[in-house]
Amino acid sequence: NAGVTQTPKFQVLKTGQSMTLQCAQDMNHNSMYWYRQDPGMGLRLIYYSASEGTTDKGEVPNGYNVSRLNKREFSLRLESAAPSQTSVYFCASGGGRGSSGNTIYFGEGSWLTVV
Amino acid sequence: QKEVEQNSGPLSVPEGAIASLNCTYSDRGSQSFFWYRQYSGKSPELIMFIYSNGDKEDGRFTAQLNKASQYVSLLIRDSQPSDSATYLCAVWAGGFKTIFGAGTRLFVKA
């Protein structure tokens, strides 16, 4: 069981370049998420998708776009990369309702450097 | 702004001791609380969750929740060097947004 898989793991971009981070989950979860993690800032939500066909902004959406391609896949696109977008990006999916709430499961992360 | 606060640490404990990690949250409507462990260069992995006041035990880990004080903690008994990591507290107040604390770094000395 692979869980949440994201690619690429490492990427170096030049300022102004574009790229797409890919993510897929095999846990049959409805909700999916993109977070970024910066030192001292914790995990910050960029965008999320409550279900197939819907996407919503999180805490830090500027400079990003997302696509929920189907139930399994949720991609994150940087249209014109900036040095401020240098970060570690985590894709996640969410499952479980009721008392356990919406439990978040993370992919392995994508380390992105913008020079 | 809904917040989750953790002491950044590092918290240093000797091997075999009890490590106590604390977290406070601002949203009184929060319903479920999660602890994640994150090793350096790795992704967060779920340790346990709690939603009722009191204690919940899972092996060497005990989560404690006090909703009146808006406080949740994680105790690690018989701490091992392999427990050295950053521990993230996360709070769910409904819907599809979970708020994460910035994490507490734990160092267990052999």
Q: CB of B66 within 8 A of CB of B85?
A: no
The beta-strand segments (E) located in B15-102 are 19-25, 32-38, 45-50, 54-58, 61-66, 71-76, 85-92, 98-100
Residue B54, both tokens: 């009191």
Q: pLDDT confidence of B1, banded at 50, 70, 90?
A: low
Say how far apart CA A89 and CA A9 lie, in whole Å: 9
Q: Residue window 61-80, chain A: list those with CB within 8 Å of chain B.
A: none
Q: Is pLDDT at A81 greater than 70 in this prediction?
A: yes
Q: Do A45 and B34 touch (CB under 8 A)?
A: no
Chain B closest-CA separation from residue A99 CA (Å): 7
User: Between B58 and A97, where is the model more confident?
Assistant: B58
Q: Which of A102, A35, A78, A73 is nearest to B44 (CA)?
A: A35
Q: Which of B76, B83, B6, B73 is nearest to B37 (CA)?
A: B83
Q: Which of A1, A111, A22 is nearest to A73 (CA)?
A: A22
Q: pLDDT confidence of A100, banded at 50, 70, 90?
A: low
Residue A112, both tokens: 């992105």
Q: What is the structure's pLDDT at A96?
A: 66
Residue in chain B lying closest to A3 (CA) = B45
To test the contact with chain B by mutation, choose from A10, A43, A52, A100 the residue with the greatest count of B C-beta atoms within 10 A, namely: A43
Q: What is the structure's pLDDT at A101?
A: 67
Residue in chain A lying closest to B102 (CA) = A42
Q: List pLDDT tens digits, range B46-96.
A: 999 999 899 999 999 999 999 999 999 999 999 999 999 999 999 998 888
The residue-averaged pLDDT of A68-74 equals: 95
